[in-house]
Amino acid sequence: MDITPSSAPAGEAYPVRATIRGTGFAPTGNVVEFGPIKISDVAASGDRITFAVPKLVPSRSEVPPAVLTPGEYPVTVTTPLGRSNSLKFTLTSGGLP
């Protein structure tokens, strides 16, 4: 498996979509875990899954969403067949990948 791109600027102002290439994906219902965030029901197109890289940690009750800070985040895919190996995605600082 691999992920493209493997890095992007941190912060909401820098939206990016990433593509994971691999095998064993289900047509629908895949779950991408990006660090602490689960992205449910992600569709695959053959050997590819494309998703929006999360930039915010969802809020809990009255706490507002928090921006994911620069750093390395593990990325995995869970399908009906099991969980993938972990890939690394880097959120960079300063608006430069």
Report if residue 91 sits inside a domain.
Answer: no
Helices and strands counted in the chain (H then E):
0, 12
Of the chain, the percentage scoring pLDDT greater than 70 comes to 96
Burial of 3 (0-12, 13-18, 19+ CB in 10 A): buried
Q: What is the pLDDT of residue 12?
A: 84
> Which residues does 93 contact at the CB level (< 8 Å), separation at least 6?
9, 10, 70
Model pLDDT for residues 28-64, shown as the tens digit of each residue: 999 999 999 999 999 999 999 999 999 988 877 787 8
Report if residue 93 sits inside a domain.
Answer: no
What value does the CA radius of gyration of the chain take, rounded to a whole number of Å? 13
Q: What is the pLDDT of residue 36?
A: 92
Report if residue 40 sits inside a domain.
Answer: yes
Report if residue 46 sits inside a domain.
Answer: yes
The answer to whether residue 65 scores a pLDDT higher than 90 is: no
Report if residue 62 sits inside a domain.
Answer: yes
Of the chain, the percentage scoring pLDDT greater than 90 comes to 74
Q: Quote the number of domains for the chain.
A: 1
pTM of the model: 0.89
Report if residue 92 sits inside a domain.
Answer: no
Task: Please tell me the total number of residues recorded for the chain in this structure.
Answer: 97
- Which residues form the domain of 65? 2-86
- Helix ranges (DSSP H) in the chain: none
The token pair that represents 96 in the structure block:
């430069």
